Amino acid sequence: MSDVFDDTLAAAAGNFFLLPGAETVTYFPVNGSGRRISAVITRSEPGRMPVVNALVMNSSCEGIASDEVDTGGDKIECAKRIGEKPKKLRITEILNQDAGLILLAAS
């Protein structure tokens, strides 16, 4: 039996990336080729170790499914600071997730 709450979260997740602040990044799974996905990137404050948090859809087609994340090798390519050239950053941790979204830390 499906959970109505989870179904609602999954169905609504895509609308989040239509809002200002979403950007396109490239996800590189450890085993496979890169793919472009939408993400909301939160960058660390200036002067701190460059770390980004990436909020993406919890979907293997439109984002990254939580059960496919490999924190030992998956990477995401984005700029550590606004205006900088994008670089590949290792996904280090799943910070939070629900049926629609997943929040990842990368450095």
pLDDT, one tens digit per residue, over 34-75 is 999 999 999 987 777 778 999 999 999 999 999 999 998 999
Q: What pTM did the predictor assign?
A: 0.88
CA distances from 100 to 33, 48, 74, 106 (A): 23, 30, 20, 20
With 70 as the cut, is the pLDDT of residue 2 above it? no
Q: What pLDDT is attached to residue 51?
A: 85
Tens digits of residue pLDDT in 78-89: 998 888 899 999
- The total number of structural domains in the chain stands at 1
Q: What pLDDT is attached to residue 82?
A: 82
Write the DSSP assignment of 27-41 as a string of letters.
Answer: EE-SSS--EEEEEEE
Q: What is the residue range of 53's domain?
A: 4-106
Write the DSSP assignment of 83-99 as a string of letters.
Answer: TSPPEEEEEEEEEEE-S
Cβ(54)–Cβ(45) below 8 Å = no
